[in-house]
């Protein structure tokens, strides 16, 4: 088992990465008298029993939500908060998020608002959550008009990433999460991008040492970025590469057609094209990235979508400035810039 730390000065918390870590949850449970676990129906079917055994001797209340982005709304939050109040949760109670990005975002948000904030831990079960959403304390839910519009920065007390949980992850979800992995290579660490490209087959066949390495490297990079800029005033924005178009795409397709990771893959590809149209990226590097996306066989087009509808969604993005839409665009190997563009500059 490896241990990394997120060091935010007065707040420090561990990220554990390893295989078969569910047993170590018991240690955490002793830090509170009352726990509520938030999970989803799929995970409850798969892991309900092993978790019950891991929790032996402790009462852990459970809220099981419907899987998928459609649950990430205020109704789910209200249900959870009402339930917690009904069973007598106090400020000393804690939440445990057992799931992917949706579960983690909802549980973190509930932890941040219940009685003005209680402790929580993240046990991410998808690649995407293990490399990105469970780390760094972003919580939130969607509103009809856009993604993660209601939310908080609220750090967990620990993250336990069990690589063994990925064995039951559907292939589609794994490939989705890989988009966020590739993102770290493009925004921050070209050598890591080269590693992913060179180990593509091993990664896709879930070879344990490659998987453990990519999760650790992503968490290291994220820990470094979040330690410098917890509230996304500067550097942390680079983590949004692919997300301006990605979030708009998820939103206009009602969160039904694409997983978040698929939308990020498509968003990254189209933002690379945008960087080329804007003359920001070196041509040779552009070609290298394009070849990589094509080689990965990722669905990367934006076929037939209403450009104006996408632009309308993007113009509501929380990172915009003075009516211009914020993008993180690649310029060179391991290097990106933030650009604010008008609708006319973006229109394809």
- What is residue 337's three-state secondary structure? strand
Nearby residues of 244 by Cβ (< 8 Å), 6 or more positions away: 267, 271, 314, 317, 319, 325, 326, 327, 328
Query: Shortest approach of ligand GLY to residue 170 CB, angstroms?
Result: 21
Q: Which stretch binds ligand GLY (CB under 6 A): 130-138, 270-278, 291-299, 331-339?
A: 130-138
Of the two residues 175 and 239, which places its CB atom closer to ligand GLY in the complex?
Answer: 239
Q: Does 136 bind ligand GLY (CB under 6 A)?
A: yes
Residue closest to ligand GLY (Cβ)? 239
Residue 24 burial (10 A CB sphere; 0-12, 13-18, 19+) = middle
Task: Pull the structure tokens for residue 257.
Answer: 């057609």
Annotated active-site residue 224? The verdict is: no
Query: Shortest approach of ligand GLY to residue 58 CB, angstroms?
Result: 30
Could you give the CA distance from residue 298 to residue 294 in angstroms, rounded to a whole number? 7
Annotated active-site residue 116? The verdict is: yes
Annotated active-site residue 236? The verdict is: yes
- Scanning the chain, the segments in alpha helix (DSSP H) are 25-29, 41-54, 74-86, 101-113, 127-128, 171-187, 190-198, 200-204, 208-228, 243-252, 260-277, 283-296, 307-314, 343-346
Window 230-269: residues binding ligand GLY (CB under 6 A): 236, 239
Query: Shortest approach of ligand GLY to residue 258 CB, angstroms?
Result: 17
Q: Does 216 bind ligand GLY (CB under 6 A)?
A: no
Annotated active-site residue 222? The verdict is: yes
Of the two residues 25 and 138, which places its CB atom closer to ligand GLY in the complex?
Answer: 138
Which residue in 94, 138, 217, 339 binds ligand GLY (CB under 6 A)? 138
Q: Does 132 bind ligand GLY (CB under 6 A)?
A: yes
Residue 172 burial (10 A CB sphere; 0-12, 13-18, 19+) = exposed
Binding site for ligand GLY (CB under 6 A): 132-133, 136, 138, 236, 239
Catalytic residue numbers read: 116, 138, 180, 222, 232, 236, 240, 243, 247, 260
């Amino acid at each position: 088992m490896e241990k990394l730390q997120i060091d935010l000065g007065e707040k420090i918390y561990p990220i554990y990465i390893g295989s078969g870590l569910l047993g170590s949850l018991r240690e955490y449970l002793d830090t509170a008298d009352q726990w509520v676990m938030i999970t989803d129906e799929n995970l409850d079917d798969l892991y309900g029993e092993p978790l019950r055994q891991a929790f032996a001797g402790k009462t852990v209340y459970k809220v099981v939500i419907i899987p998928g982005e459609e649950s990430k709304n205020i109704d789910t939050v209200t249900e959870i908060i009402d339930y917690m109040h009904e069973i007598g949760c106090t400020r000393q109670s804690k939440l445990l998020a057992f799931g992917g990005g949706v579960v983690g975002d909802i549980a973190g948000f509930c932890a941040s608002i219940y009685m003005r904030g209680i402790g929580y831990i993240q046990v991410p079960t998808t690649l995407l959550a293990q490399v990105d959403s469970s780390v760094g304390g972003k919580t939130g839910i969607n509103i009809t008009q856009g993604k993660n519009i209601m939310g908080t920065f609220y750090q967990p007390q620990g993250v336990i990433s069990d690589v063994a949980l990925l064995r039951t992850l559907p292939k589609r979800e794994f490939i989705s999460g890989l988009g966020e992995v590739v993102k770290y290579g493009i925004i921050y660490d070209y050598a890591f991008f080269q590693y992913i490209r060179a180990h593509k087959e091993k990664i896709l066949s879930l070879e344990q040492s490659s998987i453990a390495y990519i999760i650790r490297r992503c968490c290291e990079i994220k820990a470094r970025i979040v330690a410098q800029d917890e509230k996304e005033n500067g550097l942390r924005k680079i983590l949004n590469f692919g997300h301006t178009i990605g979030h708009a795409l998820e939103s206009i397709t009602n969160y039904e057609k694409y997983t978040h990771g698929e939308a990020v893959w498509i968003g990254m590809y189209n933002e690379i094209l945008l960087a080329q149209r804007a003359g920001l990226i070196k041509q040779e590097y552009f070609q290298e990235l394009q070849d990589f996306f094509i080689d990965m066989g990722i669905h990367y087009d934006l076929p037939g979508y209403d450009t104006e509808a996408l632009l309308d969604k993007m113009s509501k993005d929380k990172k915009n400035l003075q009516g211009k839409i914020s993008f993180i665009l690649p310029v060179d190997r391991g290097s990106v810039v933030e650009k604010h563009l008008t609708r006319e500059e973006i229109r394809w």
